[in-house]
Each structure stands twice: as structure tokens, then as C-alpha cells.
Chain A
């Protein structure tokens, strides 16, 4: 038996995060629409992503807790992904990724999709606010939106 019509192409599947003991608080907060960052119990600084050891005070027992932060930040760089090595993004290209220094802490950087589209003018120093996208019904991934454009 042969197929008379080509099967419809399955929708691309973006990689969804698999939360673990170290990251669960981050992804739970994202589902609530909040950005939460891991804070070291020893020195009080944020680490992203959280690792076994605090990158600031180097304690091996950072006992990270997730603390909600406002999520605003400053654009340090960006790129337009026109051809993704992840097939799950085939229907999303081209899209903008922004490298953001969060207000929460100097040099604390987060990379996310900019949801304003590829035509939005961008400059170093532009202000962005945290946003969330939902690749599936029960997953929220932090992203950004432009707050204001530097003249």
C-alpha cells in the first residue's frame, strides 16, 4: 500500500527545559510569570545558572534559594538567528536573541528571545523588561521586550 498524499509535516518541537533539583525554582517561577534567580545563602549574590559552588564566594554549600527579581535589564549585545541548529525553531526563524545585563546585579547576564520582532531597532544600552513565552501549555521560558529605545 502506498500513501496517496504526503503526510503533513509535524510541527517542530522546541526543546523544553527539564527541571532538576537545582533549577526547579527557576522554572516554577517562570510558570507564575516571574523571574527568580538563585541567591547564595553564604554571600547573598546571585548566580545564573546556579552551579554546585557559588561563583562569587566559592562556598561549596551555597544553599541557593530562588528570589524573584524585577527582571529589567540593559541590552549588551544581540543577534538575529536566521538558521537555527535546533530544528524545533524552524518555524520561528528569523528571531532575535538579546544578551541582557540584569539590573539585579552587575555583570549578571541572561540571554533570551526578544519578542518585538526582527525589525525593532536595537542599540547597546536599550532597556528591556522580562517577558515569557510558552512553547507548550505548561512551560514558560523567560524572554524580553523592549521598554524604550535609546534615541
Chain B
């Protein structure tokens, strides 16, 4: 056994999220303050009770945009200071997989007694000018010298290589991905706060979409947005006295560290290897078989992540995800696996793992409204790819 003594000892007890828009009419920090206050109120708490803050504040762009706290990013320190809170514990997750990373730190803080009530937030920004990933560099010093001089740059080229590697290895096609993207957009279209609310797409829209880095087309990528979400975590004991049904953190796992390569060079073997690591860590921390997951919210900031997460957690065999999706296996309206029931990032906007955590929380707390699934007992909220990210396993009841 793992000795993971925090299992089910910490719970999510409230949340709030801003509308997801292309460009907000208020500064990101102002929105973050509103959202944090709303989340604290949703949890039945006061700001002066919040004594812990965690986030991963990265501005996820390869463009040359200014990083300004309160404007293009919001750190936990900035949020705590501007809320007027006096926390005992403030921490930022460094690296990718910001949502599971920040949740892990919050869980550890509550389980250890470092904090009683922790706000985990994520603030995402779409810079108002300039191309999101565009970078006019003419020299490539440091790590960039190994990749930019030959034109290997930015996340689309990064994801194109393992995406194509997968297609070639398993005989899948770009068209197979239409089932993933249309499912995300179909579910996102039903969600009022989504940027894509009311705007589902047809498979033909996907097939005809502009290809940027073969096989990656524009619809394989989530759209940059302004948006903030916040969650409140506390101990299972304190959660009993709060208004919402608690959702327990019962395990987590990250896939790092991964092999050193050129910056942004992800290989399919690295991704699959890290997927096995994450799955093992989830089983180890939770003590559950992953087949018990009935709300598997898979990350989809780039569409191929969905296939890779499906295979990593055993929803289908290695190399089978493309056919599984093509044959309707994740079409939730037809009784398929609810891997994108919350719309994901493709169906909401670039909220970086928030849609997965939010949908998991809403389903397991039975607050999902008309999207409520009949069976929602064990949820998994994935973020990024296993090789640069991970997942948190939630349960509706303590284990």
C-alpha cells in the first residue's frame, strides 16, 4: 500500500467560475477577486477564514507577451494580498499540469494542518494584442537554440509530432478525431458559461478546418480566453458543517519527470510511458481500480490528449482510442463514456484543466443540473498530458 494518508481526508466544498470570454472588459485580477469571493461564499465561508492559497499561474503561451501579476496572470500571493486575507500557507505550482499540481499542494496543506481552508484558483488570459503564440525572435539563445533555428517552435508543432506518430503507428486517421472535437463542442454548446455556448459543430466542420501543423487543425486546439475559476478545499471533518455536499480528494498522480529532450519535443513513447506512471500513482494513492471511475474527465486542450488519457487509464486498449471514439464510445448523449461531458477545453475555451475539475466536482456533488449523470461516484480530473501533467481522483464518498 502507498501510505497515502491524505486519502479522502480533504474535500472540495465550493466553487465559482467567471464567464469564459475572448477578451474580458475587466482586468483579470479584478475578475479573480470576484470569483474567489464567490467561491468562498458558495462554500459557506468568509474570506477571513481562508488561510491557504495555491495555484499554478503560468501564462501558457510561446508568444512574447508581458507577464504582469493581476493583469496577464494571477498568482496566489497577488490574490491573497488583494483579498485582504492573512493566509498561513501560500504556494504556487511550478510546471505543467497546473490544476492537479495546485490541488495536490492544497490537499497536502490541509492534510498536514498547514492550512484549514484553501482557495485553489486558476486565472487564464488571452492577451489583447499580438498573436497568442507568435514570437518575432531573430536570435535563439539558451534552450531555444536547439529547436527554433530549424522552425520547431510552439505547442502546435509540439503536439503534431506525437499526434502523427500515433496515427502512423496505429493506422488511425485525422478524420477519426472529429468524434472527439464534435463531442466536446456538443457538450460545451449546452453550457451557459462556455465561450462556445450554442455553437456546436458537425464532423464536416472538423474535417474541413484549416490545418496548421499536419495533422493538427485549428479545431484541435482550444481557443485562448479570459476566465477565472476558484475552488475551496478543507478537511473532511470541517466539510460536514458546510452547505454543499463534499467531494473528496482520494488520490492523485503526476507523470513527471520525463526524459530530457529538445524543448517541446514530446514523443508518443514518453506520453504512453508517463500515462502508465500516472495510472499506477492513481491506483496507489486511491487504492481503487481505475475501472471504478464513472466520471472520467479527460484533458483536451489539444484533442489527441483525449485518446492518450483514455488509453492511460484503461478505458480502451493501447492504440484503440481512435476507433473507440469514432464508433460513438464517448458520445455521452448516446450513452457513451462521459469523458467530455463538461465540454472540456475544446468546448469551453482555454481554461487549462478547469473544465475537467469543475465537471468532476459538479457531477460528484450532484450539482450538475441537466447534465447530471445517473452514476457519479468516482471522478478523474486530468490536466495536460501525462508526461507534463497528471490527474486528481475524486470520490463522492470517503474511501
Contacts and interface: CB of A to CB of B under 8 A. Distances in A.
Q: Is B a genuine binding partner of A?
A: yes
Interface in B19-71: 62-63
Contacts of B267: 76-77, 99, 109
B161 A78 contact: yes
Contacts of B156: 85
B153 A85 contact: yes
A95 interface: yes
Contact of B213 (A15, A51, A80, A133): A80
B159 to A, nearest CB: 9
Nearest to B146: A49
B138 A15 contact: yes
Interface residues of A, number: 47
A73 interface: no
Nearest to B167: A77
Given A20-B142, A142-B150, A85 B260 contact: no
Contacts of A80: 211, 213-214
Nearest to B63: A85
A85 B135 CA distance: 6
A85 B133 contact: yes
Contacts, number: 137
Contacts of A55: 259-260
Contact of B140 (A16, A76, A85): A16
Contact of B149 (A49, A99, A141): A141
Contacts of A109: 261-262, 265, 267
A78 B260 CA distance: 20
A77 B164 contact: yes
Contacts of B140: 15-18
Nearest to A47: B260
Interface of B: 62-63, 131, 133-154, 156-157, 160-162, 164-165, 168-169, 211-216, 259-262, 265, 267-269
Given A16-B149, A55-B259, A107-B259, 10 more contacts: A77-B268, A79-B214, A81-B157, A83-B212, A85-B133, A86-B135, A109-B262, A109-B265, A111-B161, A111-B262
Interface of A: 13-20, 23, 27, 47-49, 51, 55, 76-89, 92, 95, 97, 99, 107, 109-113, 123-124, 133, 135, 139, 141-143
28 contacts: A15-B139, A15-B149, A16-B139, A18-B145, A23-B146, A27-B145, A48-B262, A49-B260, A55-B260, A76-B165, A79-B213, A81-B157, A81-B212, A82-B214, A85-B134, A85-B153, A85-B156, A86-B135, A86-B153, A88-B138, A107-B269, A109-B261, A109-B262, A111-B152, A111-B161, A124-B165, A139-B149, A141-B149
